[in-house]
Amino acid sequence: MPASIFEEVGRLFEAALTRDTITRLSCPSCGSAHVAQLLGDNGGISYVCTACGHIWS
């Protein structure tokens, strides 16, 4: 049992960094990780790069 919440968060963060199943979303146009998720009118999900403005789904 961790002595504090900070120790537990640190442990979880370290575990997440060492897992190779983590997927990071990046812009297919410029490669930036600054991506926002958009919800469309019909319920679909699209993504927009806040660095270059590229939109994709």
Q: Where are the domains of the chain?
A: 25-57
d(CA 25, CA 40): 19
Q: Is the pLDDT of residue 19 over 70?
A: no
Residue recorded with tokens 């997440």: 16
Would you say 28 and 54 are in contact if contact means Cβ atoms under 8 Å apart?
Answer: yes
Q: Give the tokens for residue 36.
A: 């926002």
Mean pLDDT of the chain: 82
Rounded to an integer, the average pLDDT of 36-48 is: 88
Question: The whole model's pTM is what?
Answer: 0.56
Residue recorded with tokens 């442990």: 11
Name the 3-class secondary structure at 36. Answer: strand
Q: 5 or 32: whose pLDDT is higher? A: 32
